[in-house]
Chain A
Amino acid sequence: DQQVKQNSPSLSVQEGRISILNCDYTNSMFDYFLWYKKYPAEGPTFLISISSIKDKNEDGRFTVFLNKSAKHLSLHIVPSQPGDSAVYFCAASAGGNQGGKLIFGQGTELSVKP
């Protein structure tokens, strides 16, 4: 039972354009969502997060949007840079005694071409 899904295994974008990575979830108890970036031979690096009480959070070139009714979140990267090429994972956690247990999607490999 895949509670967090990233349906696009890969995405290719031109440098300077917008990258949009998508993530869907099924568990309505999730109240905290995160995006991580992973380079080969390194651990995931935290990028940005959003609480379920918000629908948007920005940090520099990165913006995360949350649509609770659709159980969908997206990560926008503007402008995209070649150094952004990596695998991106979305993750979610539920509150209460499930807090801290992250459920990850399968990842989307982003390639930003010069």
Chain B
Amino acid sequence: DAGVTQSPTHLIKTRGQQVTLRCSPKSGHDTVSWYQQALGQGPQFIFQYYEEEERQRGNFPDRFSGHQFPNYSSELNVNALLLGDSALYLCASSLRGYSNQPQHFGDGTRLSIL
């Protein structure tokens, strides 16, 4: 039973560039959420996708955007990268995002901005 998979595992970019991170949900899950985890902090909610639409959004600027595909996989795009975007980006999947069910996380993408 494949869990949540994320790619790439590490990425180095420079300020002003754009980045795309990818996530495949756990088998049987249809909802994908993205989180940003800064060093020494808990994960912060970016947004959630269900039925190929953004259903909820956290307090992140429009530079952060996403997409969900018909096979439930998802992408996170960040434009005009800033030094402060350096963080671990986590993808989590669940079944039907509105219900109280645990989200299962991938191992994340470590993004470093130079």
Contacts and interface: CB of A to CB of B under 8 A. Distances in A.
B105 A99 contact: no
A97 B104 CA distance: 20
Interface residues of B, number: 28
A97 B98 contact: yes
Interface string A16-44: 00000000000000011010100001111
| Size category, A interface | 20 to 34
Interface string B30-53: 010101000011111100100000
A99 B102 contact: no
Given A104-B43, A106-B40, A44 B90 contact: yes
B100 A43 contact: no
A99 B100 contact: yes
Interface of B: 4, 31, 33, 35, 40-45, 48, 55-56, 58, 90, 92, 94, 97-100, 102-108
Interface of A: 4, 6, 31-32, 34, 36, 41-46, 49, 51, 89, 91, 93, 95-107
